[in-house]
Amino acid sequence: MIRRKPQRRHVELHGDRLAYRVMGEGPVILLIHGITSDAGVWERVMPGLARTHTVIAPDLPGHGSSDKPKGDYSLGAHACCLRDLLLALGHERATFVGHSLGGGIAMQFSYQFPELCERLVLVDSGGLGKDVSLLLRAASLPGSELVLPLLAASRLLDAGAQIGGLMNRLGLRLGTDLEQMARGHNTLSDGASRAAFLHTLRAVVDPAGQRIDATNRLYLAELLPLLLIWGERDSIIPVAHGRAAHERLPSSRLAVLEHSGHFPQLDEPECFLEVLLDFIEETEPAGVERLSAAS
């Protein structure tokens, strides 16, 4: 019997607590959230995926209910953490679905551990171009750690969340972007969370934009089924990044959800589920033999 809500669990990895949510049975889908977010960003699509799959959604280190240690918050470190999580839970391989920062982590994982990756799904992903929202670029500036406590404690973010919620109720999907950004910054009220956020952000963003551009390495995913999902109205990372990546790798699939912003899994969960499940059903997982032959 499939539970209607994910189970909240945690595992200790190298002395640190990693929180995650899990539900369903079958082949594994691992969902990776973006910066200042947590596993809750997948709550509208997890039940649908869990009808046919084991769905695992961790809170990345420094996020949500996971520990916020001093240490490495690079893409490579996050990829290693996800590998260790899979192994700790007794799973050998998975389809990886990464949103925003999580897309960059998913790509890094596929480069570091191709034998563990069956498919790659990038949702409004970072790492595919330089453009990113002005707010994130500003947060990467030297000295921003002095401003973040004031921002997190201000009523401005509460107002942003309320306005975003109102826009959503009026059917203006861009409100989700504003609401989620405000909610994310409200998580930065303590020093450990702010430090983890800044370490994570500055690993991938500087005042000029995104520091890491993986487009010149997309060819490494040619033997890996790849799906790009993007919100047409994304106000944080433009849909042009998804279209350009698809042109570079014609074997990939691209689905642009016209009524979505940066969070299509929240804006249009039914369409998101349909696109993702069709992709999984219609593609064969990358086999270890194929990956070995390509190396």
Which stretch of DSSP H or E encloses residue 165? helix 155-169
53, 241, 246, 262: the catalytic one is: 262
Work out the average pLDDT over 246-256.
94
- Top pLDDT among 215 and 292 is at 215
Q: 3-class SS at 253? A: strand
Within 8 A by CB and 6+ apart from 231, the residues are: 124, 173, 239, 256, 257, 260, 261, 262, 263, 264, 267
Q: How confident is the model at residue 178 (pLDDT cuts 50, 70, 90)?
A: confident
pLDDT of residue 137: 87
pLDDT of 163 strictly over 50: no
What is the rounded CA–CA span in Å between residue 196 and residue 106?
Answer: 19
151 pLDDT more than 60: no
One-letter amino acid at 56 equals I
Q: What is the DSSP string of 202-237?
A: HHHEETTEES---GGGGGGGTTS-EEEEEETT-SSS
What domains can you pick out in the chain, each with its CATH number? 7-131+210-294 (3.40.50.1820)
What pLDDT does 117 receive?
96
How confident is the model at residue 134, as a pLDDT? Answer: 84
- Neighbouring CB atoms inside 10 A of 84's CB total 14
Angle at 128 between CA 85 and CA 93, to 5 degrees: 25
The values of phi and psi at residue 45, to 5°, are -115, -15
Higher pLDDT pick, 235 / 146:
235
Predicted local confidence at residue 149, as pLDDT:
56
Among this protein's residues, is 158 annotated catalytic? no
- Give the integer Cα–Cα distance in Å for 100 and 23: 23
Annotated catalytic residue 78:
no
Q: Which residue has the higher pLDDT, 182 or 70?
A: 70
> Is the pLDDT confidence value at 75 over 80?
yes
Q: At what angle do helices 144-153 and 174-185 cross, to 10 degrees?
A: 110
Q: Which of 66, 234, 252, 260 is catalytic?
A: 234
The arithmetic mean of pLDDT across residues 239-264, rounded, is 95
Give the residue with greater pLDDT, 115 vs 169.
115
The average pLDDT across 11-34 equals: 97
Q: By three-state DSSP, how is residue 85 classified?
A: helix
Question: Tens of pLDDT along 26-65?
Answer: 999 999 999 999 999 999 999 999 999 999 999 999 999 9
Give the pLDDT confidence score for residue 255 in this predicted structure: 98
Contact 19, 59 (CB under 8 A): yes
Q: Which helix (H) or strand (E) holds 238?
A: none
Residue 243: per-residue pLDDT: 97
In the annotation, is 53 catalytic? no
The rounded distance, in Å, linking the Cα atoms of 168 and 46 is: 21
28: tokens are 């594994």
- Computed over every residue of the chain, the mean pLDDT equals 87
Q: Annotated catalytic residue: which of 66, 100, 110, 260?
A: 100
Q: Is 170's pLDDT higher than 60?
A: no
For 185-236, the pLDDT digits (tens) are: 777 778 888 889 889 999 999 999 999 888 877 777 778 999 999 999 998 9
Residues 6+ apart with CB under 8 A from 19: 8, 9, 10, 39, 58, 59, 64, 65, 66
Q: Note the pLDDT of residue 288.
A: 55
> CA nearest 44: which of 266, 259, 262, 276?
266
Q: What mean pLDDT comes out for the span 19-25?
A: 97
Question: Chain-centre distance of CA 84, in angstroms?
Answer: 18
DSSP characters over 20-44: EEEE--SSEEEEE--TT--GGGGTT
Residue range 83-107, pLDDT digits in tens: 999 999 999 999 999 999 999 999 9
CB 106 within 8 A of CB 98: yes
